A = this chain, B = another copy of it.
Amino acid sequence: MSSEPEISSSSTSAPEQSGENISKKAAKKEAARLEKLRRKQEHEEAARKTSSLSLEDESFTRNYGDVTLTELQSTEDPRAGKWREAIEGKKLTDLSCLVEETVGSEVLIRGRVNTNRQKSSKLGFLILRQSIFTVQCVATQSEETKVSVNFIKYLKQLSNESVVDVIGVVVKPKEEVKGTTQQVEIQVRKAYCLSGAMPQLPLLIEDASRSEIEIEAGLSGAKANQDTRLNNRVIDLRTPANQAIFRIQAQVQKAFREFLDAKDFVEIHTPKLMAGSSEGGSAVFRLEYKGQPACLAQSPQLHKQMAICGDLRRVYEVGPVFRAEDSFTHRHLCEFVGLDVEMEIQSHYSEIMDIVDELFVSIFTRVNDRCEKELAAVGKQFPFAPLKFLPKTLRLTFAEGIQMLKDAGVEVDPLGDLNTESERKLGQLVLEKYDTEFYMLHRYPAAVRPFYTMPCADDSRYSNSFDVFIRGEEIISGAQRVHIPEFLEKRAGECGIDVNTIKTYVDSFRYGAPLHGGFGVGLERVVMLFCALNNIRKTSMFPRDPQRLAP
């Protein structure tokens, strides 16, 4: 059960088969063209290197150059090469740590070449980038420090995105450095390239990082389109906004767990492979499992309820959820991360809503507190206003929501579901009236909820269920479940479901079942709406939609 299987062709030939309706022939041709271009670039680069660097004394040449393979292979021998010799006994300093207090000290730093310019043969500038931090490195020709003209030439030919180690002295520049996050400079003594990037990248960081405002104002160059970004996600992930988005995502789930752990919830893992025939719904991915028909779990619904019947009392799961829906909207994915909760209740479904309320207020507060820099980085490229939410989350009944829409002239079916448009409209009305972009709507019509949702005691047309909205879009669905097997069978029958097909599910409740309920949230959707981003593909690291299965 090693986690490092041999990578087979099936798992890596991915992008060639990405669903972009290019014929195989055309795709092959394009690949061959790119390959040819790459080879040409490599040759040109090699030629440039040899021609530009003439012979010079070893005391100069040892201060720069490409790191050799042997050195990269974890040798501990400082004689293996000049890089090994130079870094011997030194520890890398993070770019984020290069602040005024470090002025005067010699540091070893590592970063990508972000920009690279030569002012003269004796003066070169290199901006290094590490995650969202940047620093300017200045190389000045000098006999004393053994920085030669060839050294500066070497720096000049380093391609953008190459990974470079620089050893140098931290100095305070005379004037403010524009275009870098760090307000100190590095006087370069030594520089070594650990990994050269292709000179011509399929996506430029500056295009991928360009602010939406600049683009709209037509102030600057090209905008990277979504598909180009996603096809080259390895490069796209390096933009400040993306660096921030996935750190925010990590904080959202961390805050989710912290809150629930403190409330005695147990994190569980339920199987994604389920037995199944070919008669099920259309939104199911099917496969063959050792000769049996199987499918991928569309949610942990059944198993999280089984965990409750198994007396785990309060459980949550963070895991992939698979939906084979043909949805090409801004907010649907075929695979996303589900945050699922299921819990015993004492006597009322409002206990579940209490948890949702406290949980999300806690998540929003923690993310605002902990991700100030990250939220700013996202906002710089995709400007947004902070989410408005109340310390105690607003709860409206579905009927009240319908009435608000009606009063505003929007007629919707009082026993039907809200469509995207009416969700948006209601969000707007709630914002105007209650000054919040986060609220709950409960007592949904029973007809639009699954059969296992507990109907209301006083009116069976409604159910003990709720949806939660951020900025006018649904992010959470939850409810009290029917835990009485006979009633569950009756409800299934009323919903036109053949009771025999759900026998296992119903049987889980025959051995004594606690009163319970729960909810499910899509992680990507929470991050998207918290940051008011316009597309869920921005908050999924490697998104899967009906047309995209790669990279």
Instruction: Tell me which residues from 450 to 508 in chain A have a Cβ below 8 Å from any Cβ of chain B.
Output: 450-452, 454-458, 464, 467, 474, 477-480, 483-484, 487, 497-498, 501-505, 508
The answer on a CB contact under 8 Å between B272 and A514 is no
User: Contact check: which of B19, B201, B313, B334 meets A131 at CB < 8 Å?
Assistant: B313
A289 and B549 in contact, given A13-B504, A163-B512, A504-B14 (Cβ under 8 angstroms): yes
User: Which residues of B have CB within 8 Å of A272?
Assistant: 272, 320, 322, 335
The answer on a CB contact under 8 Å between A283 and B504 is no
User: Which residues of B have CB within 8 Å of A323?
Assistant: 1, 5
The answer on a CB contact under 8 Å between B484 and A521 is no
Interface code A508-551, partner B: CB below 8 Å = 1, 0 otherwise? 11111111000111110100000000000000011110110111
A73 and B511 in contact, given A3-B520, A7-B302, A12-B505 (Cβ under 8 angstroms): no
- Name the residue on B nearest A42 (C-beta): B486
A411 in the interface, Cβ–Cβ < 8 Å? no
A337 in the interface, Cβ–Cβ < 8 Å? yes
A11 and B549 in contact, given A4-B450, A307-B541 (Cβ under 8 angstroms): no
Instruction: Tell me which residues from 273 to 300 in chain A have a Cβ below 8 Å from any Cβ of chain B.
Output: 273-281, 283-299
Copies of the polypeptide in the assembly: 2
A407 to B6, CA, bound (A): 32
Tell me how far the C-beta of A19 lies from the nearest C-beta in chain B, rounded to whole angstroms: 6
The answer on a CB contact under 8 Å between A510 and B312 is no
A9 in the interface, Cβ–Cβ < 8 Å? yes
A121 in the interface, Cβ–Cβ < 8 Å? no
Instruction: Tell me which residues from 351 to 385 in chain A have a Cβ below 8 Å from any Cβ of chain B.
Output: none
User: Contact check: which of B75, B298, B299 meets A458 at CB < 8 Å?
Assistant: B75
User: Contact check: which of B306, B331, B334, B502 meets A551 at CB < 8 Å?
Assistant: B306
Tell me how far the C-beta of A503 lies from the nearest C-beta in chain B, rounded to whole angstroms: 7
A429 in the interface, Cβ–Cβ < 8 Å? no
The answer on a CB contact under 8 Å between B250 and A19 is no
The answer on a CB contact under 8 Å between B484 and A195 is yes
Please name 12 further chain A to chain B contacts, defined as beta carbons within 8 Å, in addition to the given A87-B347, A319-B320, sorted by A numbering. Answer: A4-B301, A4-B450, A4-B478, A5-B281, A5-B323, A14-B274, A163-B514, A197-B510, A201-B511, A234-B511, A235-B310, A320-B320
